């Protein structure tokens, strides 16, 4: 058997991956088996079998290497997808924060507007209450004045009616008294003629005499 040096590129039929080149001395392998007592034909068959196993072995390692590369590429893609997902999440968080801030501003503005509306409504209600109180007070005062007028008029009417009744009763009593007096008086006598009385005058007294003037008296020493 001649020496065969093989330089081969193993290829896996299942995976399609190309393996690395290797050198195998089939003559030396067969000679060693023959020197050990094995038949040369059997040694050649075993050498071919070993080469086939070696090729399969190399293909399996290549598959692992390709799988590692695929895993690495997948990890890169996954890392890229994760980074993009993180960016999307960050952008979503920014949008959510923006919407939240906008909602907070809207809520604060709505609260302020409601507070102003409440204060305005309170002021309007207070004015309406004060106006109603003033109107009620005026109505009460007007009604009170009218009642006082009606009471005064009723008092005057009552006094006039009482005075009229008293006057009427007094007149009835006086009339009754005169009627009774007329009934108790004796019959009237006919008038008696009496001559007029004469006026008696006394004579006038004589005039009084005047006294003579008195003589002057001499001074005494």
The predicted structure's pLDDT at residue 18: 41
- Looking at residue 95, what is its pLDDT? 92
pLDDT at residue 16, rounded to an integer: 39
**Residue 25, SS3 per DSSP:** strand
Q: Report the pLDDT value the prediction gives residue 70, as an integer from 0 to 100.
A: 85
pLDDT of 109? 93
Vertex 16 angle, CA 13 and 22, to 5°: 80
Residue 215: half-sphere exposure toward Cβ, Cα within 13 Å: 3
Distances, alpha carbon 102 to alpha carbons 42, 107, 114, in Å: 88, 9, 18
pLDDT at residue number 4: 43
- pTM for this prediction: 0.34
Residue 21's nearest CA partner among 63, 62, 66, 67 is 62
CA dist 22 and 54 (Å) reads: 9
């Amino acid at each position: 058997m001649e020496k065969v040096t093989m330089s081969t590129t193993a290829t896996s039929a299942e995976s399609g991956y190309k393996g690395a080149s290797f050198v195998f001395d089939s003559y030396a392998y067969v000679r060693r088996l023959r020197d050990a007592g094995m038949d040369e034909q059997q040694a050649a068959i075993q050498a071919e079998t070993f080469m086939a196993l070696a090729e399969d072995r190399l293909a399996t390692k290549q598959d692992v290497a390709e799988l590692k590369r695929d895993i690495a590429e997948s990890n890169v893609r996954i890392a890229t997808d994760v980074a993009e997902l993180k960016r999307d999440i960050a952008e979503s968080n920014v949008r959510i924060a923006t919407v939240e801030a906008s909602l907070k501003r809207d809520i604060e503005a709505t609260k302020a507007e409601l507070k102003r509306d409440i204060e305005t409504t309170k002021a309007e209600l207070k004015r309406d209450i004060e106006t109603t109180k003033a109107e009620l007070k005026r109505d009460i005062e007007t009604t009170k004045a009218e009642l006082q007028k009606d009471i005064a008029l009723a008092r005057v009417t009552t006094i006039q009616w009482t005075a009229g009744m008293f006057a009427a009763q007094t007149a009835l009593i006086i009339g009754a008294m005169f009627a009774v007096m007329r009934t108790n008086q004796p019959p009237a006598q006919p008038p008696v003629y009496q001559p007029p009385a004469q006026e008696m005058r006394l004579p006038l007294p004589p005039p009084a005499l005047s006294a003579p003037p008195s003589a002057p008296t001499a001074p005494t020493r």
